[in-house]
Structure formats: structure tokens, C-alpha cells
């Protein structure tokens, strides 16, 4: 038995098969085709309107005003989140601030509150928070954990000997941070900022509640209220171009630099920096962010719940919305997982142009605004498959396109650790390819599948734009009920739906952050 097969499972070499199975190729081809549909939709609507009319619709003061609001919102929120996230990560990971672990949990709570729920609570506090500056404030308080969490994780795992070497060469703390630490943090900062910028380009619910006109709110109004497909398509083209430009810009800024080192490094934490007289200011900074980020939204939500308790809650309506949210979110997570598995399998196990397309697919799908995907599916369903229009199946397809990147990332990472030689050994013992996958690979990647399912489920619970346009007639969800009641200034009526959304999405976020900060040894 000792003379086993001469296969190094941990050598880093992964043999690739030349011909992927048809059951792997077909889902990938389907997703590539579906991801190109928005571009085809915009091109078709432009052709129908004519180039002269298309340029007239784009070249208007109204469109330039939308672009101004969208860009100001994107830049303001991204820069604010970068500064807040970086400063918080340094304060909690590198200083001697008391209660750093508890602050790490508390300051991640805004991530559990959907952005349109935060917008609803701030607007219910005062209408002064409507408009551009109110939107920048509310969205920054909601999105800064997207920078804070990855930067804090990078600082926690950073080898402090690099900084200590710079100190021994005469650099002060500022120079060490600027020349050593910041370049190592740059990929994490850039990744978080890109996510925030794309979110701001495609955000709809919170901006609609905060009464700020951007491309997404204007597209929805043109389609749903004015029934103008040509205007909606041209605005969608401008928005889609901005999203793709952001991805290109991120690739250019990141370049080909690789911030790595030779060797394993030393797994130890350096001595924390003493704040001394700055200690009260650091505590006040964390306390202020906690109050603004989660204290005011949760406090206002509790207030409206108490106000609404004087009248009977519509238990039947709330239950129906909760069941609808759970059913379509579970279905969307399942469909996303079924499509993410063959895509990840093709990327990890095979070579070729199709594998390269599959590897680029998450970036393309992530850049597609949910509103544009929904409009595209509405157009093609009405013109080519009318029976599919306003069905649950079309909504689940939209969820799969929107949330495939969330599902693919953990699945792909897990598949890289599942050596294909194990399946080949099982096949030499008589197992079919499907049986070998189920018995060997599936148990290895099952935790990643569960994590991907949970991520997609939580995001699907909070999804608003595609649900508004594609949901079957009469279907209501927690997200659509919050949006509908807030649009009618019925804050007490929206509170129960918002509270349920926070309960569903808050528990996993709380468990994640407590595990990260309280159990990090």
C-alpha cells in the first residue's frame, strides 16, 4: 500500500481535461448569452429609435443633470467610505484603543441594515436629509464596512517585520505608513472602493426614498410611470457605459503590480501604538459612528414600531410578504448555486477560450445594473416568450444573473482545493464521473456551497429593483412593502417590514463579525 500512485495532491499542479462535459458547457454558454443581452437590448432600442433620435435623447440637459448627481454621489460616498474604513481599521487593529473587539462588532452593524431601510429611517427623522448631501451621508454610513472589513483583515494578517525594518532604516511612523503599509493595503482599499462605486451607480431604493434623481431612478420613472422604452433604453446605455468604465479604470489603476513577498513571514502582531492623549478622541470617533450608523436607524425604527402598535398590524399582509421573500430568495439562491457550480468547475478544471470567458463572467455581471437586467428581461420576455413575463421563473433568472458573482467566488476557491486526482482515482475503481463528484468533491466543497447559498439568500431578501419590475402580479415582498409605504409617507406601516428585514440579515452579519473579532486569538 505504501507504493501508492505517484500523484502529488498538494504539489500545486492540476491536470486539466481537454473536453469538458456538455453539462458543464451548456450552463456557461447560457450565462454568457444572458450576460450579453443587456448590450443587445440597448443596441436594438438604439437601432429602432435611429441614431439621430438616440443622440437627441442622450444629449439633453436632463441627462447631464443625472450624470452630475450620479458622479457626485459616487465620488462623495466612495471617498468618505475609504477615509472612514481605513481610519477605523487602523484604529482597531494597530492602536491600544480599549474595547477594540467590541467596537469591531458594533461598527459592522450598519452592514446588516439595508440601505433603503436606512434611507427610510433618516427621512422619517427629518426631510432635511433628502437630496444629494443627505444621500452621501446615509449611503456612506451604510457602505463603509465594505472598506473597513477587508482592510482590517489585511492589517491583522500583515507581517509587522516589514514595518519594523523600515523603522530601523530611519523612517518615522508616517513614512512607514505611506511607503510600506499603505501600498500593501492598496488592493483591499481599491477592491472595497470599486464595490462601493458600482453600488452607487446602480442604487435605486435608497435614492428614491431620499428623493435624489440619478440614472436608476430616472430609468424606473421612464419605464414604469411614463411608459417610454426609448428613453429608458438610452439612459440604460449611459449607465451601463459608466459601470463598464469603472471596471476598466479599476484594472488600469491596479495594473500588474503584485504586493507579495518571498517566504512565509512571521505570524505575530506588533506592539500596539499608544494613543495617550488621543484616546478620548478615538473613543468619541467610534461612538459617533456607532450612533449615526446603527443607533439612529434602529432607534427610529423602534419609534415607528411603537407608534404603529396603537393600531392593529396587518398580520396577514406581513406574513404573506415574509413568505414571498423567503420563497423567492431561497429559489434565487438555489438557481444561482446551480449555475455557479458548472461555471466554477470550467474555470478551475479546464483550459480554452470558453474557460477564459467564464473567468471574466463575474466581472461583467457585477457591472450590469440590476435595473438594466430587469428591463432587458422584460423586453425579451414580452417580444419572444410572452408566457414567461411576470412569472416567478423570470424573477429567479434575474436573481441568478445579479447574484452569480457572490455564489461563484467561494465555490471557485473551494474547487481549487479539491484535487481532481481524487476523482480520477475513484473512477479507476469503477465509479461514474457523477458518482465520483458526489462522493469525493462534493463533501470537500460543501461548506463553500453553504456559504454561497447564504450570501445569495441574504442579498436576494434585500433586492428591490428587479423585484419591482419582474415579480408576478399581486406578489409583495418585505423590500417592496418598505419601499411602497415609504413612498406614501407611511413610516409606521413600513416599520414592521423593515424590522423583519433587519432580523433576517442582521443575525449572519453579527455572527460573522463576532467570529472575526471575538475569536481571533
What pLDDT is recorded for position 328? 93
| Burial (CB count within 10 angstroms: exposed 0-12, middle 13-18, buried 19+), residue 128 | exposed
- What pLDDT is recorded for position 18? 58
Whole-number pLDDT of residue 219: 84
Query: Which band of pLDDT confidence, cut at 50, 70 and 90, is reported for residue 331?
Result: very high
Q: What fold, for 311-520?
A: MetI-like fold (1.10.3720)
Is the pTM of the predicted complex or chain greater than 0.75? Answer: yes
pLDDT at position 294 over 70 = yes
Q: Tell me what pLDDT residue 139 has.
A: 93
Q: Is the pLDDT of residue 336 over 70?
A: yes
Q: How far apart are CA 486 and CA 187, in angstroms?
A: 38
Domain(s) labelled CATH 1.10.3720.10 in the chain stretch across 34-260, 311-520
CB count within 10 Å of CB 228 equals: 14
Determine the average pLDDT of the residues in 288-307.
88
pLDDT band for position 76 (50/70/90)? very high
Band the pLDDT of 509: cuts 50, 70, 90. Answer: low
Q: How many CA atoms lie within 13 A of 189 on its CB side?
A: 22
Is residue 64 within 8 A of residue 120, CB to CB? The reply is no
DSSP string across 8-42: -TTSS----BSS--HHHHHHHHHHHHHHHHHHHHH
Phi and psi based region of residue 12 (left: phi greater than 0; alpha: psi -120 to 50; beta: remaining):
left
* Topology adopted by domain 34-260: MetI-like fold (1.10.3720)
How high is the pLDDT of residue 308? 66
Q: Is the pLDDT of residue 46 over 50?
A: yes
Residue 304: closest CA among 502, 457, 155: 502
Of the listed ranges 13-22, 96-105, 159-168, 280-289, the one predicted with least confidence: 13-22
Q: What are the two backbone dihedrals, phi and then psi, of residue 177, each rounded to the nearest 5 degrees? A: -65, -40
Amino acid at each position: 500500500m505504501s507504493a501508492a500512485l505517484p500523484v502529488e495532491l498538494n504539489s500545486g499542479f492540476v491536470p486539466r481535461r481537454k473536453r469538458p462535459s456538455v453539462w458543464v458547457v451548456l450552463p456557461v454558454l447560457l450565462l454568457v448569452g444572458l450576460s450579453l443581452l443587456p448590450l443587445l437590448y440597448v443596441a436594438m432600442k438604439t437601432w429602432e429609435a435611429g441614431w439621430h433620435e438616440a443622440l437627441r435623447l442622450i444629449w439633453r440637459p436632463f441627462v447631464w443633470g443625472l450624470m452630475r448627481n450620479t458622479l457626485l454621489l459616487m465620488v462623495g460616498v466612495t471617498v468618505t467610505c475609504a477615509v472612514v474604513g481605513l481610519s477605523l481599521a487602523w484604529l482597531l487593529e494597530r492602536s491600544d484603543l480599549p474595547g477594540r473587539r467590541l467596537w469591531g462588532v458594533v461598527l459592522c452593524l450598519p452592514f446588516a441594515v439595508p440601505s433603503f431601510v436606512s434611507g427610510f429611517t433618516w427621512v422619517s427623522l427629518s426631510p432635511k436629509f433628502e437630496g444629494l448631501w443627505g444621500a452621501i451621508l446615509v449611503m456612506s454610513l451604510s457602505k463603509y464596512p465594505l472598506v473597513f472589513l477587508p482592510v482590517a483583515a489585511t492589517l491583522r494578517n500583515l507581517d509587522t517585520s516589514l514595518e519594523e525594518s523600515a523603522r530601523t532604516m530611519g523612517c518615522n511612523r508616517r513614512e512607514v505608513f505611506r511607503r510600506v503599509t499603505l501600498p500593501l493595503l492598496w488592493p483591499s482599499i481599491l477592491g472595497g472602493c470599486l464595490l462601493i462605486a458600482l453600488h452607487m451607480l446602480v442604487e435605486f431604493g435608497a435614492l428614491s426614498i431620499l428623493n435624489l434623481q440619478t440614472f436608476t431612478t430616472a430609468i424606473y420613472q421612464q419605464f414604469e410611470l411614463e411608459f417610454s422604452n426609448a428613453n429608458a433604453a438610452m439612459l440604460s446605455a449611459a449607465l451601463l457605459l459608466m459601470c463598464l468604465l469603472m471596471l476598466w479604470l479599476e484594472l488600469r489603476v491596479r495594473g500588474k503590480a503584485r504586493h507579495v513577498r518571498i517566504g512565509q513571514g512571521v505570524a505575530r502582531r506588533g506592539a500596539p501604538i499608544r494613543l495617550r492623549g488621543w484616546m478620548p478622541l478615538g473613543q468619541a470617533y467610534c461612538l459617533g459612528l456607532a450612533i449615526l450608523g446603527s443607533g439612529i436607524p434602529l432607534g427610529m425604527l423602534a419609534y415607528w414600531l411603537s407608534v404603529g402598535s396603537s393600531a392593529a398590524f396587518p398580520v396577514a399582509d406581513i406574513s404573506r410578504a415574509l413568505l414571498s421573500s423567503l420563497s423567492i430568495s431561497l429559489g434565487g439562491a438555489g438557481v444561482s448555486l446551480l449555475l455557479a457550480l458548472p461555471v466554477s468547475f470550467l474555470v478551475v478544471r479546464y483550459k480554452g477560450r470558453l474557460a477564459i470567458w467564464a473567468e471574466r463572467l463575474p466581472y461583467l455581471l457585477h457591472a450590469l445594473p440590476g435595473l438594466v437586467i430587469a428591463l432587458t428581461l422584460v423586453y425579451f420576455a414580452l417580444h419572444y416568450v410572452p408566457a414567461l413575463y411576470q412569472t416567478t421563473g423570470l424573477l429567479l433568472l434575474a436573481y441568478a444573473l445579479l447574484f452569480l458573482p457572490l455564489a461563484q467566488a467561494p465555490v471557485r476557491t473551494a474547487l481549487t482545493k479539491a484535487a481532481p486526482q481524487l476523482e480520477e482515482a475513484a473512477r479507476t475503481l469503477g465509479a461514474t464521473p457523477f458518482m465520483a463528484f458526489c462522493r469525493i468533491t462534493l463533501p470537500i466543497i460543501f461548506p463553500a456551497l453553504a456559504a454561497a447559498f447564504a450570501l445569495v439568500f441574504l442579498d436576494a431578501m434585500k433586492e428591490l429593483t428587479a423585484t419591482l419590475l419582474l415579480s408576478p402580479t399581486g406578489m409583495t415582498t418585505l423590500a417592496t412593502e418598505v419601499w411602497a409605504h415609504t413612498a406614501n409617507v407611511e413610516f409606521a406601516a413600513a416599520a414592521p417590514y423593515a424590522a423583519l428585514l433587519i432580523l433576517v440579515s442582521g443575525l449572519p452579519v453579527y455572527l460573522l463579525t463576532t467570529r472575526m473579532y471575538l475569536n481571533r486569538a
